[in-house]
Structure 1
Amino acid sequence: MKKHPERPVLITDAARSQDDQLRGRQIRYVSMMSVRAACLILGGILISAKVPLLPLWLSLCALGMVLLPWMAVLIANDRPPKTKEERAADAAAREDMRRTLIQPPPEPTHVTIDAEIVEEGPRRAG
Structure 2
Amino acid sequence: MGRYERRPSLITDAPPNPADDLRRRQIRYVVMMLIRTLCLVVGGVLISVQAPWLPLWLSLCAAGMVILPWLAVILANDGPPKEKHRMRRPTDRVEPSQTALPAEQAPRTIDYEP
Question: What is the aligned partner in structure 1 of residue 39 from structure 2?
Answer: 39
Percent identity of paired positions between Structure 1 and Structure 2:
54
Unaligned runs of 5+ in 2: 1-9, 100-114
Question: What is the aligned partner in structure 2 of residue 76 from structure 1?
Answer: 76
The count of aligned residue pairs is 83
Query: 1:81 Cα deviation (Å)?
Result: 2.8
Question: What is the aligned partner in structure 2 of residue 103 from structure 1?
Answer: none
**Larger Rg belongs to:** 1
Matching of residue 18 in structure 1 with residue 18 in structure 2 = yes
Q: Distance in 2 between matches of 1:19 and 1:95?
A: 35
Q: Distance in 1 between matches of 2:93 and 2:77?
A: 28
Matching of residue 50 in structure 1 with residue 70 in structure 2 = no
CA displacement, residues 42-93 of structure 1 (integer Å, 9 cap, x when unaligned): 00110011111000000000010011001100000011234xxx22x23288
What RMSD, in angstroms, separates the aligned Cα atoms of the two structures? 2.3
TM-score, length basis structure 1: 0.59
Q: Which amino acid aligns with 1:12?
A: I
Question: What is the aligned partner in structure 1 of residue 105 from structure 2?
Answer: none
Q: Distance in 2 between matches of 1:81 and 1:55?
A: 42
Q: Which amino acid aligns with 1:79?
A: G
3-state SS of paired residue (1:80): coil
Q: Distance in 1 between matches of 2:54 and 2:29?
A: 29
Q: Which amino acid aligns with 2:11?
A: T
